């Protein structure tokens, strides 16, 4: 690496964030111009990256009975939902609030799937009145409550049971959902009895079977193992006279944060469809619920270097984005690449702990990062499109960051920066 012409670092997972003439760009725009205009911390999304990720799923499912339901929890920004809905997506929701967001996006209610272990009666009624496509039910008590709520409205609730196949997704334990020790789903050994009970209740209409084993999965083997267990159950249900319309295999496909090599969505789900056909279930509609794999590498968080603080054990780079903006490192010990918006001479590189301004020792963005940086420089925290703004908080009374969506050479502010007035609005005081 020469001092006059340092090599550009790699932005993981997407060609839509790239260096040109020493400046990091998103599609046709310099990210520094966006930081200058909107301030930092700032989340910036590439619409082309989002649609390219969706395209891999659509290629696999072309010509087949299928529905891709974007998992709203990954990033619920209304403009991103509208982009995906207009491109043909349904939506996977896990709360009444997400239901309202979904309806605001313009999605057809019958293209909404309601997942989650703790749906309240009020949320069930709200979803029944909206006419959603399916409830993914996760326990026997939930079956009973959903039946009562549907009957109280004079309706039948379309139902799919989420089956827990006891398959290890080989991911972080906090985002693994398919083991028998997890809170999610009905054990596959108990699923037939649960389906029989659901079939006996007049307020329910069985439409499918659901399985979701976790998030940030980078190996196709767990998917295919779970699929085989679910197909065994489909065969048992058919033998018991319980017909299904669809098979929902959830989401969870991983992305590249550092050097992970997850399977391509088009290849993986082509293999899923082949196995369904080989087992005689090619007539079932396939539902998928991707989240991170659509939006994760479509977004970055821009942050300003505030101070360089030499320490006895480590050198600290203090930036203006904190754990309230980017909770994944503190929550999951997650890695995000951190790259400069403008390249500096290579001899200025030092090793830093990249930390935020929040009053917690857990407020770190990256450990032991080699960076050439000076106070006032802007940096991009990569792969920040998923599970960052959706889990952001007001800790330390910090406002949530602004968000921008870029399409070609056009940038649109899709969420303004939160103010203290926004935070104080719900508070009543004495």
Q: Comparing C-alpha atoms, which of 184, 322, 175 is closest to residue 253? A: 175
Q: Is 289 annotated as a binding residue?
A: yes
Residue 54 C-beta-side C-alpha neighbours within 13 Å: 23
Q: Is 387 annotated as a binding residue?
A: yes
Q: Comparing C-alpha atoms, which of 299, 338, 226, 282 is closest to residue 17? A: 299
Decide: 391 and 325 in contact? Cβ < 8 Å: no
Q: Is 197 annotated as a binding residue?
A: no
Specify the 3-state DSSP secondary structure of 300: strand
Q: Is 252 annotated as a binding residue?
A: yes
Q: Is 203 annotated as a binding residue?
A: no
CA distance 127 to 133: 9
State how beta strands 134-137 and 157-164 pair: parallel
The one catalytic residue in 211, 261, 301, 359 is: 359
Give per-residue burial for 413-423: e unless 16+ CB within 10 Å, then b: ebbebeeeeee
For residue 373, what are its two tokens? 């940086």
CB atoms within 10 A of CB 193: 11
Residue in the structure block whose two tokens are 């909404």: 112
CA distance 299 to 303: 13
Torsions phi, psi for 237 (to 5 deg): -65, -40
Q: Is 328 annotated as a binding residue?
A: yes
Residue in the structure block whose two tokens are 């989650």: 116
Decide: 137 and 206 in contact? Cβ < 8 Å: no
CA dihedral sign of residues 291, 297, 302, 306: positive
Torsions phi, psi for 213 (to 5 deg): -105, -5
| Residues 6+ away with beta carbon under 8 Å from 279 | 231, 235
With 0-12 / 13-18 / 19 or more C-beta atoms within 10 angstroms meaning exposed / middle / buried, residue 20 is exposed
Specify the 3-state DSSP secondary structure of 324: coil
Q: Is 403 annotated as a binding residue?
A: no
Question: Is 359 among the residues known to form the active site?
Answer: yes
Decide: 375 and 308 in contact? Cβ < 8 Å: yes
Q: From the centroid of its chain, how far is CA 298?
A: 11
CA distance 407 to 106: 21
CA distance 39 to 389: 16
Annotated binding site: 252, 289-292, 328, 332, 360, 387
Q: Which residues are annotated as a binding site for substrate?
A: 292, 328, 332, 360, 387
Active site residues: 359
Which residues belong to the annotated binding site for pyridoxal 5'-phosphate?
Answer: 252, 289-292, 387
């Amino acid at each position: 690496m020469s001092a006059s012409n340092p090599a550009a670092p790699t932005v993981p997972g997407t060609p839509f964030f790239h260096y040109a003439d020493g400046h990091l760009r998103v599609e046709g725009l310099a990210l520094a111009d966006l930081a200058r205009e909107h301030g930092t911390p700032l989340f910036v999304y590439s619409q082309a990256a989002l649609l390219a990720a969706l395209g891999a799923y659509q290629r696999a499912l072309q010509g087949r009975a299928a529905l891709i339901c974007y998992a709203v929890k990954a990033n619920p920004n209304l403009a991103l939902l509208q982009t995906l809905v207009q491109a043909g997506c349904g939506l996977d929701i896990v709360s009444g609030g997400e239901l309202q967001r979904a309806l605001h996006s313009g999605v057809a209610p019958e293209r909404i799937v309601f997942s989650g272990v703790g749906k309240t009666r009020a949320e069930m009624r709200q979803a029944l009145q909206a006419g959603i496509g399916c409830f993914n039910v996760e326990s026997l008590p939930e079956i009973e409550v959903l039946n009562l709520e549907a009957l109280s409205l004079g309706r039948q609730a379309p139902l799919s049971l989420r089956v827990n196949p006891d398959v290890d997704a080989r991911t972080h334990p906090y985002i693994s959902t398919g083991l028998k020790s997890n809170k999610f789903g009905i054990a596959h050994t108990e699923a037939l009895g649960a389906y029989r009970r659901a079939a006996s209740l007049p307020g329910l209409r069985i439409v499918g079977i659901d399985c979701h084993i976790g998030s940030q999965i980078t190996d196709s083997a767990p998917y295919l193992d779970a699929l085989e267990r679910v197909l065994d159950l489909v065969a048992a249900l058919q033998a018991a006279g319980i017909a299904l319309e669809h098979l929902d295999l959830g989401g969870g496909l991983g992305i590249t944060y550092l050097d992970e090599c997850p399977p391509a969505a088009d290849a993986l789900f082509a293999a899923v469809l082949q196995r369904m056909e080989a087992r005689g279930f090619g007539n079932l509609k396939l539902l998928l619920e991707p989240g991170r794999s659509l939006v994760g590498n479509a977004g970055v968080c821009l942050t300003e270097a505030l101070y360089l603080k030499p320490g006895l054990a480590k050198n600290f780079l203090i930036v203006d984005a904190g754990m309230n903006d980017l909770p994944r490192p503190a929550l999951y010990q997650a890695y995000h690449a951190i790259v400069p918006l403008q390249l500096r001479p290579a001899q200025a590189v030092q090793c830093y702990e990249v930390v935020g301004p929040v009053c917690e020792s857990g407020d770190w963005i990256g450990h032991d990062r080699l960076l050439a940086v000076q106070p006032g420089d802007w940096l991009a925290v990569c792969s920040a499109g998923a599970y960052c703004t959706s889990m952001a908080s007001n800790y330390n009374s910090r406002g949530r960051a602004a968000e921008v969506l870029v399409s070609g050479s056009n940038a649109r502010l899709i969420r303004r920066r939160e103010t203290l007035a926004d935070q104080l609005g719900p508070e009543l005081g004495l």
